[in-house]
Amino acid sequence: MLKKPKKGSELLTELDISRVVGETSPESAPARPAAIEERAPGIDLDVWKQNDLDLLQSTWQATCDAPEDDTAADEFRTALHNLHGASGAYGGGALTRLSGSLHELVSGIKDLHSEAALINLHVQACRATAHADSDDMADAVCDALEGRVEYRLHGTLS
């Protein structure tokens, strides 16, 4: 449920895209490409991916909970960097695009809280890729978020 921003200095950080992407069961998630199994036999990349997504979420929450804590922001940036770097092994696609768009955004701003709503949407969208069953839907979300980052950083819509 979208919450309207309150007047004053409070940030809009509680946007929720679950109504758009829906909640699906892990059984309905797309199968991991065989090439990934060949590169990493015996390693459960789904567990690694989920751990990276959980770390992204928890470090973002810590950053929101302590806006003055530069260490929390650095930990969030590190978690994002690691997720983006591993996203190809996790199947690429929407996760690579979303984490890349978010990486570009947080690299282009000093104060993460100035773009808290947009960052929060990216974090939620990254988490949703674990359950995405439609490449068309994922591409639409990616296109929209990449366009917003371009607008925020450069003042142009792509």
Q: Any idea what the CATH number is for the domain that residue 147 is in?
A: 1.20.120
Residues of the chain with pLDDT > 70, as a percent, come to 68
Total length of the chain: 158
pLDDT value at residue 98: 93
Taken in order 142, 102, 130, 89, the sign of the CA dihedral is positive
Q: Which residue has the higher pLDDT, 32 or 41?
A: 41
Domain tally for the chain? Answer: 1
pLDDT for residue 34 is more than 90:
no
Residue 5 located in a structural domain = no
Residue 70 located in a structural domain = yes
Alpha carbon separation from 90 to 15, 24, 41, 77, 119 (Å, rounded) = 26, 18, 13, 19, 21
pLDDT for residue 25 is more than 90:
no
- Confidence grade of residue 134 (pLDDT, cut at 50, 70, 90): low
pLDDT tens track for 40-91:
556 788 899 999 999 999 999 999 999 999 999 999 999 999 999 999 999 8
Residue 88 located in a structural domain = yes
Residue 20 located in a structural domain = no
Please provide the average confidence, as pLDDT, over all residues in the chain.
78
Residue 25 located in a structural domain = no
The domain of 117 spans 43-154
Answer for the pair 50, 130: CB distance below 8 angstroms, yes or no: yes
**Which is nearest to 84 in space by CA: 73, 68, 96, 74?**
96
Residue 34 located in a structural domain = no
Alpha carbon separation from 35 to 12, 38, 47, 98, 156 (Å, rounded) = 41, 5, 17, 22, 38
